[in-house]
């Protein structure tokens, strides 16, 4: 629990759907969380969860397509000490029923990103994209 009361704040930024954008996504998040005075430990966890969600867009919604010129949007809002991170993309529609982390006894790599997101965030919701978007993922965390 963060003891600093956060002022209401919203920022969003668009990124090319490329693995090379993931560093920029992390930088954007770190800058916003610094403004929100979120403590380092929680900041690291939130940056990891957001970067994993962005990675899932690149890897799964776009199959790491090197030719796409599409963008994804990351929007971070903080209202009444509740943090909401929204992702918008126009990739392959996500079937929420198929999004799950792997079983603990399955030691093959992959699927860990979803596990990290679920461990770190309070809620993970797939919502209607709304034009021009296809996928709209919302992560929330009480501060």
Partner 1 sequence: MTYKVEEIDNKRIVHLDGEIDMEVADKARNTILPLIEAGHEVHLNLSKVEYMDSSGISILIESKKLSEQKNTKFELVDISKPVEKVIAMAKKFL
Q: Among residues 65, 79, 119, 125, which is the contact residue for partner 1, using CB under 8 A?
A: 119
**Token pair belonging to 70:** 């599409």
67 binds partner 1 (CB under 8 A): no
Burial string for 84-115 (b: 16+ CB within 10 Å, else e) reads bbbbbbbbeebeeeebebeeeeeeeeeeebbe
3-state helix/strand/coil string of 86-132: EEEECCCCCCHHHCCCCCCCCCCCCCHHHHHHHHHCCEEEEEECCCC
Place of tokens 């009361």: 5
CA distance 120 to 45: 6
Q: Which stretch binds partner 1 (CB under 8 A): 16-24, 31-39, 78-86, 130-138?
A: 16-24
CA 114 to chain centre: 10
Q: Among residues 116, 124, 126, 138, which is the contact residue for partner 1, using CB under 8 A?
A: 116
124 binds partner 1 (CB under 8 A): no
Q: Among residues 69, 80, 104, 130, which is the contact residue for partner 1, using CB under 8 A?
A: 104
126 binds partner 1 (CB under 8 A): no
Site for partner 1 in 17-56 (CB under 8 A): 19-20, 22-23, 26, 41, 44-45, 47-48, 51-52, 55
109 binds partner 1 (CB under 8 A): yes
Residues near partner 1, by CB under 8 A: 19-20, 22-23, 26, 41, 44-45, 47-48, 51-52, 55, 58-59, 104, 107-110, 112-113, 115-116, 119
């Amino acid at each position: 629990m963060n003891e600093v009361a956060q002022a209401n704040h919203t920022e969003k930024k668009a990124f090319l759907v490329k693995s090379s954008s993931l560093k920029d996504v992390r930088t954007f998040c770190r800058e916003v969380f610094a403004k929100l005075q979120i403590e380092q430990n929680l900041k690291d966890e939130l940056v990891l969860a957001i970067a994993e969600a962005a990675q899932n867009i690149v890897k799964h919604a776009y199959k790491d397509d090197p030719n796409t010129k599409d963008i994804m949007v990351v929007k971070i809002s903080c209202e009444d000490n509740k943090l909401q991170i929204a992702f918008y993309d126009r990739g392959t529609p996500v079937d929420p029923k198929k999004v799950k982390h792997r079983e603990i006894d399955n030691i093959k790599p992959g699927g860990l990103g979803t596990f990290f997101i679920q461990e770190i965030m309070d809620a993970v919701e797939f919502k209607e994209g709304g034009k021009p978007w296809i996928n709209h993922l919302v992560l929330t965390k009480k501060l």
